[in-house]
Amino acid sequence: MHSDKGPFGGLWRARLGDFVFSYRFFYPETAGYLSGILTGQETACEGPCVAVDTRDLALWEEKEGKAGPFAEFCLACMPTSELLLGHDACIFHAAALRRKDRAWLIAAGSGVGKTTHCRSLLSLWPEEFSVINGDKPLLKACPDETVMVCPSPWNGKEGMKGAEEAPLSGIFLLSRGEENRVVRLKKEDAAASIFLSIFQSGRDKESIVLAAKMAEGILESCPVWLLTSRDIPASAYLAYECISEEEHTI
């Protein structure tokens, strides 16, 4: 999962949120993709060190025809999240929006429409919403059971980012369907989707257990809705109504 060895060196110190650790890159150019969190090169590793698993690079090459710096940057999300899980944090697959001083997540697989929903909310209510991260924010559990939603370098191909971190207030699990509908889920009905949205490889028992613990903390911190979308912006209006109603209860 984590390693202090890599075939080409390229050891860099990094800071992501409150967490300080090191990356060892296979490709020197990968540092350019993560320059926003890198604080300088190192000659020796001190503390935790993250490296992409060579198996994952091989799988990327098999699928895409070649693996290089961009592939390593994308794949680095997984071991980074696994390292963070040991510190009550993770990388979470969702678009993260900020409204006033609260954060809201729209979680879905690639191509389902989370980016389109973000753009719709930003277009309809431009003075109310801003984007913390368009694809993979950092989530951090706090001692008071609040979960903070923070920026990360993995903000999607659209590069949506810019807003500051904020406490998590709710999550929309987005799906496509024959009607626009939003339903608040029981924790047990949302648990599997929340767990699967946490980045971890499934190869390490400790990471699986920690991801389950993180999912439980997320579920305890905020409500989760199933947002079924037939067309946008109609479903975006439903999300907006839920956000407005929930903010009145906070």
Question: Which SS3 state, helix, strand or coil, does residue 5 take?
Answer: coil
- CA separation for the pair 128, 184 (Å, rounded): 23
Q: Rounded to 5 degrees, what angle do the CA atoms 170, 180, 173 make?
A: 30
- Most distant CA pair in the chain, distance: 57
Q: Is residue 159 within 8 Å of 134, Cβ to Cβ?
A: yes
Cut 0.75: pTM above it:
yes
Nearest residue to 136 (alpha-carbon basis) of 101, 99, 92, 102: 92
Please check whether the domain covering 89-249 is classified as CATH 3.40.50.12280. no
Give pLDDT tens digits for 71-86.
Answer: 999 999 999 999 999 9
Amino acid, res. 63: K
Amino acid, res. 101: D
Give pLDDT tens digits for 66-124.
Answer: 999 999 999 999 999 999 999 999 999 999 999 999 999 999 887 788 999 999 999 99
The pLDDT of residue 120 is 95
The mean pLDDT value of the chain amounts to 92
The pLDDT of residue 227 is 96
| H/E segment holding residue 50 | strand 49-50
- CA separation for the pair 84, 86 (Å, rounded): 5
CA atoms within 13 A on the CB side of 96: 33
Instruction: With a cut of 70, say whether residue 6 has pLDDT above it.
Output: no
Nearest residue to 90 (alpha-carbon basis) of 101, 79, 98, 99: 79
Helices (H), the chain: 30-33, 54-64, 69-75, 77-85, 114-124, 187-196, 205-221, 234-249
Give pLDDT tens digits for 150-203.
Answer: 999 999 888 899 999 999 999 999 999 999 999 999 999 999 999 999 999 999
CATH 3.90.228.20 boundaries in the chain: 89-249
Instruction: With a cut of 70, say whether residue 3 has pLDDT above it.
Output: no
- CA separation for the pair 198, 54 (Å, rounded): 21
Nearest residue to 171 (alpha-carbon basis) of 233, 100, 246, 230: 246
The pLDDT of residue 2 is 37
The pLDDT of residue 112 is 80
Tell me whether strands 224-229 and 166-176 are parallel, antiparallel or unpaired. Answer: parallel
- CA separation for the pair 91, 89 (Å, rounded): 7
- CA separation for the pair 21, 11 (Å, rounded): 11
The pLDDT of residue 4 is 39
The pLDDT of residue 8 is 55
- CA separation for the pair 210, 46 (Å, rounded): 24
